[in-house]
Amino acid sequence: MTRALFIAGAGTEIGKTYVTAALTRRLRARGEAVRALKPLASGVPPVGDPTFAASDTGRLLAAQGLALTPEAVEACSPWRFAAPLAPDLAAAREGRSLDLADLLAWCRAAVAAAEPETLVLIEGVGGLMSPITREATGLDWLAALGVPALLVSGSYLGAISHALTAVETLRAHGVPLAAIAVSESPDAPTPPETVAAAIARRAGAPVACLRRGADCPGTLARLVRDAAAGAVPRAP
Ligand SMILES: Nc1ncnc2c1ncn2[C@@H]1O[C@H](COP(=O)(O)OP(=O)(O)OP(=O)(O)O)[C@@H](O)[C@H]1O
Ligand SMILES: C[C@H](N)[C@H](N)CCCCCC(=O)O
Ligand SMILES: [Mg+2]
């Protein structure tokens, strides 16, 4: 049975790719089959650009041990836009647009095509409710996919409210929340463990922590694997 999980952020540039790549490496090291996808990406350099390896797609492909071939890039991130803006704006800058229905169909096909027992990780774009098309936000994409979420938070001052706001939003929309990962922010005033504990007391979901430069903790890998296998009850 193929299992899928959506990585959502309490904000943009908060650690979604970092956590997804670390999680991918950890699961693969345990012999688990993982496919990490970033279907929709903005702020992306051309594939041949020397900076492409540092892009979300580059980092997710590297975490899977995949070379940055045009085919691998296309299979990971079919909608790529250059401007570092919300995807609807970035697409418009290129005279392009995208439909939520096409994005959903692509994601569903990718999950269906994955080898049995593969865990498919789908990284969203920006924050949970960042616009992805003129009408839809990332939440619409996640809710329509019907897979559990892993919410990534930072540990900066304000991160607790941002994370709990995202938790409440997921709950209000019936999206199952597998876990929250606090990815340490630079120059944060308190340790990420302090932020994680404050979130855990209020979120009703397990919280894991990743210090700067840290690998994915085993607890998070187990939570994600179990959730993707259906061990997360849908929110009331
Ligand atoms: N725990 C961490 N340790 C070291 N670096 C981190 C950590 N978390 C995030 N970063 C770094 O912070 C920057 C932003 O993180 P990342 O790219 O994962 O954010 P994102 O949420 O995926 O952003 P986007 O919304 O653009 O997809 C990156 O340079 C990333 O490597
Ligand atoms: C460029 C950035 N890293 C992301 N790719 C896009 C973030 C869009 C954020 C839109 C918003 O919520 O204000
Ligand atoms: Mg990212």
DSSP secondary structure code for residue 199 in this structure: H
**Ligand 2 binding pocket includes 43 (Cβ within 6 Å):** yes
**Ligand 2 binding pocket includes 54 (Cβ within 6 Å):** no
Asked if 86 and 2 touch (Cβ cutoff 8 Å), the reply is no
- Computed over every residue of the chain, the mean pLDDT equals 95
Convert the pLDDT of each residue in 70-121 to its tens digit.
999 999 999 999 999 999 999 999 999 999 999 999 999 999 999 999 999 9
pLDDT of 228 reads 80
Question: 3, 25, 35, 38: which is the annotated catalytic residue?
Answer: 38
Given pLDDT bands bounded at 50, 70 and 90, which one contains residue 236? very low
Convert the pLDDT of each residue in 18-75 to its tens digit.
999 999 999 999 999 999 999 999 999 999 999 999 999 999 999 999 999 999 999 9
pLDDT of 229 reads 77
C-alpha 55 to ligand 2 mean position (Å): 14
Residues with CB under 5 A from ligand 3 (ion): 16-17, 56
pLDDT of 231 reads 63
**Ligand 1 binding pocket includes 18 (Cβ within 6 Å):** yes
Report the atom number in ligand 2 closest to the C-alpha of 126.
7
For residues 182, 84, 51 and 15, what is the CA-based torsion angle, rounded to 10 degrees? 0
Fold of 3-228: Rossmann fold (3.40.50)
**Ligand 2 binding pocket includes 9 (Cβ within 6 Å):** no
Asked if 192 and 220 touch (Cβ cutoff 8 Å), the reply is no
Q: Which SS3 state, helix, strand or coil, does residue 35 take?
A: strand
Backbone angles phi, psi at 233, to 5 degrees: -65, 145
pLDDT of 147 reads 95
Annotated binding-site ranges for ATP: 13-18, 56, 123-126, 183-184
Q: Provide the ipTM.
A: 0.99
In the chain, the amino acid numbered 223 is L
Task: Specify the residue with its C-alpha closest to ligand 1, atom 24.
Answer: 13
- Cα separations in angstroms, 32 against 3, 28, 29, 56, 57: 12, 5, 7, 21, 20
Residue 28, token pair as written in the block: 């693969």
Can you tell me which residue has the tokens 């922590």?
209
Question: Which parts of the chain fold into alpha helices (H)?
Answer: 16-29, 56-63, 70-76, 87-93, 100-113, 138-145, 159-172, 192-203, 218-226
Residue ranges per structural domain of the chain: 3-228
Residue 200, token pair as written in the block: 């855990």
User: Active site includes 38?
Assistant: yes
